[in-house]
Structure 1
Amino acid sequence: MTATAAISALCIVSLSGCSLFTPVDIDTHQYVLSTIPVDLPAERTHAVTLSVLVPETVPAFATPRMAYTSQEYQIAYFSRNEWVETPAQMILPLIVETIRRTHYFSAVRAPPDLGRSTFLLRTEILELNQDFTSDPAVLRLTVRFDLSRETTHQPIAAKAFSVQQQLDERNPYAGVVAANEAVGRLLRDLARFVIENAR
């Protein structure tokens, strides 16, 4: 190989190095849960307060990865679609704002500003999953709420709410839309549950 050919070959390798060794840039789409129901019960404000703890989550859904099921007994995750935060991080402020908008409590607190309150609300996210095994596909959301008196830790009421919301299409974005609709329905039920039991 002549010196000129060797230099030319070296230039070609140098110029192509970026495309050969640089990781491929794959766009990841990030989505949020942000729905707060508008048709909430309007209450007279009472001289009681509520602290809302950060929701606990079963391990399969304690991640920003967006879960789905395409065959029975299996949970998988989309590779290019995910939540911007974990479900617990997104749902906590929605719970707090929903209950505040009922005006039932004189104060509704969340970490890190908990302080002492009359009542304590614990939340456990049991499922947030796009289920493609059914026809039509559905978004499944199941959350358990436990209300207790903070000072005595005396349980007052506990209930698991399960919501199924149909997907308009069989794709991740349709699942996000359905998830937001399901969250709105669940929060409406939660508001009634808390008001009925925080007496």
Structure 2
Amino acid sequence: MNTLHNAIGPAPYLRQPQTAVEEEIHYAIGNGLLGKFLAARTSHGICAIMFGDDEEVLVTELARGFPKAKCILSDHALQELLTEINTVMAWPEYRLSQPLDIGGTSFQQQVWQALLEIPAGATASYQDIANRLGKPDAVRAVAGACAANLLALAIPCHRVIRQDGDISGYRWGVQRKQALLQREAQA
């Protein structure tokens, strides 16, 4: 059994890197505690949850992450998913009930599994993650895997900080990362 299953609920569909996907991706834009977000789903599950300030930029980023896919706006069909993502933002201990369509390389999936093991309210450094994987020299690769994660909240890359405890970069903005960490610390 895939180890990602226990951490995220329904068994995820594991696929090769995002560029290999040649299917329809349905997406919708929502508004939540952290501003605008895009949620997208393939026939296998949720493939992207991304934050941003501009809807066009979010859609462009989705298309860039899945260049062979046909991206289709599906606001009505994904309303339940948008609501569930807002629930996760409000209550960090809540887990998404829908399956995930997780891409990435084998190494990225190992990093993402390690991130899933960091409980809400806790953090780990990039070095900690590299050490957990038995690859202490892979700190930059761990940071790269965090940056490649398209499933914000579902794969909690916001829980990874610098070795000195400072909050470092976050694909969707350091302020969002700080807000997520503060929210989880209060839960």
TM-score between both structures, scaled by the size of structure 2:
0.28
The structure whose residues are more often helix, as a share, is 2
Going by fraction, where is strand more abundant, 1 or 2? Answer: 1
TM-score of the superposition, structure 1-length normalised?
0.27
